[in-house]
Amino acid sequence: MTDTAALERGYRRWLRCYPKKFRREHEAEVLTVLMAGARAGQRRPEPMECLDLMSSALSMHLRPRVPRSNRSALNAIKLMYIGAVLELAVAIVILATVADLKSNVLTSSPSLTEGEWHAIVVGQLAPLDVGAILSVGVWLWMAWSIGRGHRWARIVFALFFALNISSLLNGLVHGSAVYARPDLAIAILLCLVELAAVTVLFRVKIAPSRSGANRNQPRVTRDADG
């Protein structure tokens, strides 16, 4: 195998990290640029080139495909990230306030045994904490989906909001006396962020990304030497 063929194969391997759509449209031209920039006799991609291709591919997979002009969509995505951070804070606060919660429960039910407390931890607190951690994933998934222009994400997020708000209201009606204040405060804050996100989301105009839909059809010419 010649140096050029080996190098091209190496670059193609790294370009597989990019999203399929990008590869379909741009792989050939990126390869042209990579080959044009290679040193004479270079047989494989250099470490810095690999790092650059990998980080750029990762950024293309993760970053929202929303034009800067679509401020509502970008604001909705920002709110999703804030929501993810708050949800993580909820998980931490639940763990950090277990002792306060126990003392509140003991105040309202002085006859509570260790076994009953253990049952509350396993049956209620642990699922709440796991739920908060899973919700971090849901927020990030929603941010990614809105950034990719998936309309169904609005419906999924509205259902997620309905579930969370009903869970909060149920908690306030039935167990607010035993909740630690930080738990309540952060849960209410989270619901406000969700409400803001839902409001913004339903005002967003979600359209397919411009790079695919609005692309000018270029002229293709063949160089006389080529």
Q: Which residues bind other proteins (CB under 8 A)?
A: 22, 26, 28-37, 48-49, 52-57, 59-60, 63, 65-69, 209-211, 214-216, 218-223, 225-226
Identify the three-state secondary structure at position 223.
Answer: coil
Residue 206 beta carbon to other proteins: minimum distance, rounded to whole angstroms: 14
In our burial notation (b when 16+ CB lie closer than 10 A, e otherwise), range 200-214 reads: bbeebebeeeeeeee
Closer CB to other proteins, 23 or 102, in the complex = 23
Residue 139 beta carbon to other proteins: minimum distance, rounded to whole angstroms: 23
Spatial CA neighbour of 76 closest among 151, 137, 162, 185? 151
Q: Which residues contact 106 (CB under 8 A, 6 or more apart)?
A: 112
Residue 214 beta carbon to other proteins: minimum distance, rounded to whole angstroms: 8
DSSP 42: -
Closer CB to other proteins, 58 or 130, in the complex = 58
Closer CB to other proteins, 49 or 100, in the complex = 49
**Residue positions counted in the chain:** 226
Residue 51 beta carbon to other proteins: minimum distance, rounded to whole angstroms: 8
Rounded distance between C-alpha atoms, residue 187 and residue 164, angstroms: 9
Closer CB to other proteins, 111 or 216, in the complex = 216
